[in-house]
Structure 1
Amino acid sequence: MNAPVQISNTLISIFSAVQIPTVENHLLTPKNSALLIAQCAERGITPSLIGGFKQWQKQGRTVRKGEKSLKIFAPRPFKKEENAGKDLETMTTAELMEIAKDTEKKKGFRYIVISVFDISQTEVLTTAETQEP
């Protein structure tokens, strides 16, 4: 069984000098770079350009059959809703204004794990593959 990978601040500072681009021309954060490099090292891959499955398809490439994804963290915005089940139509304007203020305070980001692939795990789509529905 694989032991969990722990990333020290020293490693993060080292990896902050390494900039790994994505298919959409963004650079990974130092922590995501460290995660990616650690996973790639276990598999004998040198990370160069990464993207999700659909991102690679938009670029005219496909992930080779049997390739395992690499995992990184991605921010996703959220808005906490606590008004489920309340009848908003029967509330007064003041109550609705209070809900609007509370809702704005409960916006933020959470991080989810997403799957990505290095360009070395992909191949160019053939014309027959691009014509399939």
Structure 2
Amino acid sequence: SALHVLDAHGEPVPPGVPGELWIGGEGVALGYAGDPGQTADRFVTRTLSKRPGARPERLYRTGDIARWDAHGRVHLLGRTDGQVKLRGHRIEIGEIEAHLAQWPPLARAVVTVTTDTGGDAALCAYCVPAPGAA
């Protein structure tokens, strides 16, 4: 397996330049079982090298923003989406906000990650009541 930091056009970026982290190689899955939409969004097969004889490689888009340093190490800088990791679970904040938005008494909801009084990360929803809601 190999790590690749690519720009918005799928081209490798030089050290120090942020890009999206992709994982490539023989160990990369073919896709998500039973989810062709997610598979199409996250998995591609393409040739990254411009060298003659270069072969296509299966790549997985992680959703992480990263950069290479001058020593060949990858540094994670954040996410391209609203996904957070909380107590080992990957959580899509947008999905929580979408579910809250379906509740009629709410006009709007925004979810963030905060630190509770014990110093642990916790989800916090800020909600605006709909006009006339009690």
Instruction: Say whether the fold is shared (TM-score over 0.5).
Output: no
Richer in helix (by share)? 1
- Relative to the length of structure 1, the TM-score reads 0.23
Say which structure is richer in strand.
Answer: 2
TM-score (norm. length: structure 2): 0.23
Name which one, 1 or 2, has greater alpha-carbon Rg.
1
